Amino acid sequence: MDLQALSTETAFILIDFIKHSNIGIREGCRYPQAGDDESSALALSHVWRSFAGRRSRRREGPHTVLSDISLKVDRGKIQALVGLNGAGKTTLVKIASTLLIPTRGEVSVDGVDALADPSQARKRLGLVLGGDRGFYPRATVMANMRFFADLADVPYRLRDSEIGRVLEEVGLNGKERHAVYELSRGQTQRLHIARSLLGSPRLLLLDEPTDGLDPGVALHIRSLIRSVADSGVGILLTSHGMEEVEELADRIAVIDSGRILVNGSLEVVRRFADVGWVASFTLRPDQLADPGILIGWVGRRGVVLTRPSGPNWMVSILWKRASEEGSGPAGAEPTRLGREMARFFADRSLDCPADLLVRPAGLEDAFLALAARPGAEADL
């Protein structure tokens, strides 16, 4: 097999990670011996990470990417990590996978100190980087999986049964004799997950697992991720797909400029973002020539977002959970809020948009509200 068939970066990361896992001989190649029964699949405590910065006129010295991060992933739960590009998500995942050492702080995987004993920590986790690369494309699925099982030190007498187990778990049983290049992109992504499940890890790190996949394929991958979590594996998921995170995650951490702003359920995130309802509609240019009129009417009670849609404008109003004045439509029922919107247009002799819709705010709306805060970055 030729390592040139793999991308250089992916091959280096996977081989460096797996060859140090050293899973060892264990009956049935099931779960590694766990740490304390009450230990989390992953625990990060006051983690910082800085990189040496280039000298410049404005700044000299290290650049801090992560600042005082504390995060836990419980067994059988999915912890999502969302944030803008450059917020620190990838750095955090690399630290959790032992591929990067924090400047200071503590990291444990299934009760094992990942800084003092990274080899033991790697035995207990699986890493999914995804993408089209990462396997030998002309080799069969079975040949690839045997290669990675050998790197993971899966016992020879248990190797094929372990491969059969993980392939069945991801729905690829029957594909053993197929070359990897013959697989669809969704099947290749499932193969990445199967590789990460060799040895039954306690923790799974998923970085953008459905990025670039068709909706139907992505739905299948989501179902697979949930089934893995239901089997008792703790999962740390990074994704830009807010619907995906909202569907899968038990807890959601929003990271910004290396700090976790909020971590909890969707309702906790919505409360932190102070957004309750969303009014969305389409406006023709002649309906409201000056968007400032609408922005002024909303005032501090919400955030007005606009984007072009052909010749028209798509408008979303992210209403706060409660008006700062203590009254008004911001905390009202959807029907009342709809009436307030209709009155706004009627008072200005404008037709109320036919597609006006008022709905509860979702994760994407909360994220947009946080990104719209003064001083927040806008490169969504």
Do 257 and 282 share a domain, yes or no? Answer: no
145 falls within a domain: yes
376 falls within a domain: no
**pLDDT value of position 211:** 81
Do 172 and 256 share a domain, yes or no? Answer: yes
Do 223 and 147 share a domain, yes or no? Answer: yes
Domain count, the chain: 2
Residue 52 is classified by DSSP as P
Do 267 and 282 share a domain, yes or no? Answer: no
Do 251 and 230 share a domain, yes or no? Answer: yes
Do 107 and 251 share a domain, yes or no? Answer: yes
Point out the domain boundary residue: 238, 271, 304. Answer: 271
- Angle of helix 141-151 versus helix 185-196 axis, rounded to 10: 30
Do 80 and 204 share a domain, yes or no? Answer: yes
Do 183 and 238 share a domain, yes or no? Answer: yes
How confident is the model over 181-199, as pLDDT tens digits? Answer: 999 988 998 899 899 889 8
**pLDDT value of position 214:** 82
**pLDDT value of position 329:** 47
Point out the domain boundary residue: 215, 247, 271. Answer: 271
152 falls within a domain: yes
CATH number where 83 lies: 3.40.50.300
**pLDDT value of position 86:** 80
87 falls within a domain: yes
322 falls within a domain: yes
Do 290 and 187 share a domain, yes or no? Answer: no
**pLDDT value of position 8:** 45
282 falls within a domain: yes
Q: Which domain holds residue 356?
A: 276-360
- Taking residue 104's Cβ as centre, other Cβ atoms within 10 Å add up to 12
Q: Which residues of the chain have pLDDT under 70?
A: 1-38, 53-61, 130-131, 322-333, 374-380
pTM score, whole prediction = 0.80
How confident is the model over 337-373, as pLDDT tens digits? Answer: 888 889 998 998 888 898 999 999 999 999 999 988 7
d(CA 345, CA 347): 6
Do 41 and 125 share a domain, yes or no? Answer: yes
377 falls within a domain: no
CATH number where 346 lies: 3.30.70
Do 43 and 192 share a domain, yes or no? Answer: yes
* Phi-psi region at 229: left, alpha or beta (left = phi > 0; alpha = psi -120 to 50): alpha
Structure tokens at 13: 């990361």
Do 139 and 179 share a domain, yes or no? Answer: yes
354 falls within a domain: yes
